[in-house]
Amino acid sequence: MRINYFSGRIGWRVVFGLGFFCHAMFCSASQAKLGPRPSPSPSVIESQGQPLDALIQNLEKNFQSKSTHRIGVAYQSYQKKNFDRAILLASPFAQPASKLAPTDPYIDYAHWIRFQSYRAKAEKAIQQKRYLLVNHLAALAIQSYLKIMETSPMSPFNRPSSKDLASVELVLADANWGLNHGKLAQSYFEKAFFRLHSQNALISVPPASFAHYAAICHKDTNPTCLTWLNKVKATFAAQSKEVAAILQEFPEISDQPKIKPFRAQKLVQFYRTGDLDQTAFTAALQMSLEKASSKTTQAWTQFLTEYPRSSYRIRAKYWLGQSLERDQEKEKSKQVFTELRQEAPLTYYGLLAALKTAQPINEELKATLPLASESDPSLQPGEAFHLKRSQELIASKAYDLAAIELREIKPRDGLSSEFLLYLGMLNSIAQNTATGLQIFTDLGQRGFDGIRTSFGLRAIFPKRHFDLIEQYSKINQLDPILVLSLIKQESAFDETAGSSVGALGLMQVMPTTALETESDLPIHLLHHAEDNIRVGTTYLKKLLDRYQGNRALALAAYNAGPNAVDRWLKAVGPEINLADFIESIPYKETREYVAAIIRNYFWYTYQITGDRLSTLDSFWKPLNTQKPSPKPQNGSA
């Protein structure tokens, strides 16, 4: 739910990479600008590739570890809030009986579980106002975390240490505030704020902590205090609990005008120009949308000849088929649509081509499991370290911990497709969905045949949080498959996802929208699955009501804001059809977003109900222009 990406506010999916867009429109080798990755020779496949299911079954047999089993049990105790037991189970690892004893390979997990447990106990003690105990527990937590850095340089917990240490510093700050140690509390608050701000995570601070900090600053106001208070005001919506917390002590802050950043004028300027293929594609598309040129077919044919590896190739092929159909070249048009359906069955345009030919697109997917490899000679030492640990943790069914290790292995061109397939499957087992989807996307860009299979379909379209989705879809009278399709595109099921414009969680809810939906909701709760889905589905329902059930318009408004969609509709007129409307969307982000959700909806419907949609009419209903629709109060541009 982001706003006007042309103004420079780019959503997290853009940062996530073009590969995730290919997850949006999915995946033929010809979409990659560098072309398809050369396939291994048959001899390499025979020596390295094994059936994927056999490799997964071998995990439990080949990667059993007593250490991971005990660590897994300790982590389960922590998850069940049995913190003392978690600390007890982790202690033999963290504190070997003899200094001469070999260091356990999972000693960092032992220290991390102790850290998390001590922190949780400290947070509980804060609620009980046992401030001296808080100081003791927080000190033990920090000691445990520092042990990770000392003993395990390759630990995955070293990278997010800034946020983790900040969470303990906030607890220490609140405790010392309760003990009337104002200067010490202020020091801890500002350390935590700095760590979190550097990670763009200031929204994780609860309103009570801001209230305590403001109370300390009120007693001894200084420039540092005022800087942080103004940062809070700039970070959160004016009506949020977080801003209200500081206004109790500093009401004058609300009257201060918003500071506009200074922009120096220079004597030189950089001019952006489109790539040659982009310029040619835009010109041909304009002819197609205007339906005014007899040279449209020639333009598309020339484009595909001159730019055979363009990222626009799949779209161009669809519009070539459309142009041939308009020229009454029915056999040629059918041939183009058939080729497109076969080449890219999991894309939005492959779906449109299948609907044109009335051929079942699911028949393009093979039923066989692809071959995979559990190793790759190009792995770096650190990657091999994290891979082995993830395998051992999965074998012990410690899936949450395996996901932590797997996030340290990034897909890259130097890794074989067979290994990436195995790595993607490990991420799926560990429910590390965002990374898994990125890997399967990369395989699709390479033209890897293993993706165009029933296995690939299940891997690319996972079903997460579906019980919650059904619950709140029913409350808001929404189609749960539509909500599932939107969440896949918004966050790839990552509860912690956040965009550069501030959208948060599974449905990428903007804080201002959340507060207009539930005025008393603390912003950090948007990272909780249930709170996020509850707010997001309520807002989606408002948009669907505004656009009289037109799903495509509501989805476009969810991404770009309803005011932008209203402008587009005014420009193109109410008589436009679904495909032409999507192509006419001027925001690349929104155009790809709407198309991808439609693609998601088709395949999720097929998976969940067994039905194969023969039309996309449910996404496009003509608007009754005589009856104005109510505007949702959302603050979008």
Q: Which pLDDT score is estimated for 261?
A: 61
pLDDT digits (tens, 9 = 90+) for 75-115: 999 999 999 999 999 987 776 544 444 568 899 999 999 99
Higher-pLDDT residue of 234 and 475 is 475
Q: Kindly report the number of other CB atoms within 10 A of residue 559's CB atom.
A: 29
Q: What is the mean pLDDT of residues 359-377?
A: 88
Q: Rounded CA gap, 237 and 401, in Å?
A: 35
Rounded Cα distance between 456 and 447, Å, is 12
Predicted confidence (pLDDT) at residue 256 exceeds the cutoff of 80: no
Which token pair is 114?
A: 């102790």
**pLDDT band per the 50, 70, 90 thresholds, residue 47:** very low
Mean pLDDT for 523-528 is 93
pLDDT at position 387: 95
Give the torsion through C-alpha atoms of 468, 474, 475, 479, to 10 deg: 100
Please name the CATH architecture into which domain 463-619 falls. Answer: Orthogonal Bundle (1.10)
What is the pLDDT, as a whole number, of residue 561? 94
Give the C-alpha separation, 70 to 68, whole Å: 5
Confidence band for 450, pLDDT divided at 50, 70 and 90:
confident
Reported as a pLDDT band with limits 50, 70 and 90, residue 624 is confident
Nearest in space to 239 (alpha carbons), one of 207, 262, 263, 275 = 207
Q: In this model, does residue 16 exceed pLDDT 50?
A: no
Output the pLDDT for position 273: 64
Q: What is the average pLDDT across 521-537? A: 95
pLDDT band for 267, please (50, 70, 90 cuts). Answer: confident
The ranges assigned to domains in the chain are: 29-35+274-326, 180-258, 463-619
26 has a pLDDT exceeding 60:
no
Q: Please state at what angle helix 381-395 crosses helix 399-406, rounded to 10 degrees.
A: 170
User: Mean pLDDT for the chain?
Assistant: 86
pLDDT at 592 over 80: yes
- Does position 465 have pLDDT exceeding 80, yes or no? yes
| 71 conformational bin, left if phi > 0, alpha if psi -120 to 50, beta if neither | alpha
**Among 275, 276, 291, CA closest to 584:** 291
With a cut of 90, say whether residue 455 has pLDDT above it.
Answer: no
Mean pLDDT for the stretch of residues 481-510: 94
Kindly tell me if the per-residue pLDDT of 7 is higher than 70.
no
Residue 39's pLDDT is 42
Catalytic residues: 490
pLDDT of residue 67: 86
Handedness of CA 323, 325, 330, 333 (dihedral sign): positive
36 versus 94: which is more confidently predicted? 94
pLDDT level of residue 399 (50, 70, 90 thresholds):
very high
Could you tell me the pLDDT band of residue 565, with boundaries at 50, 70 and 90? very high
For the cut 50, the answer to whether the pLDDT of residue 22 exceeds it is no
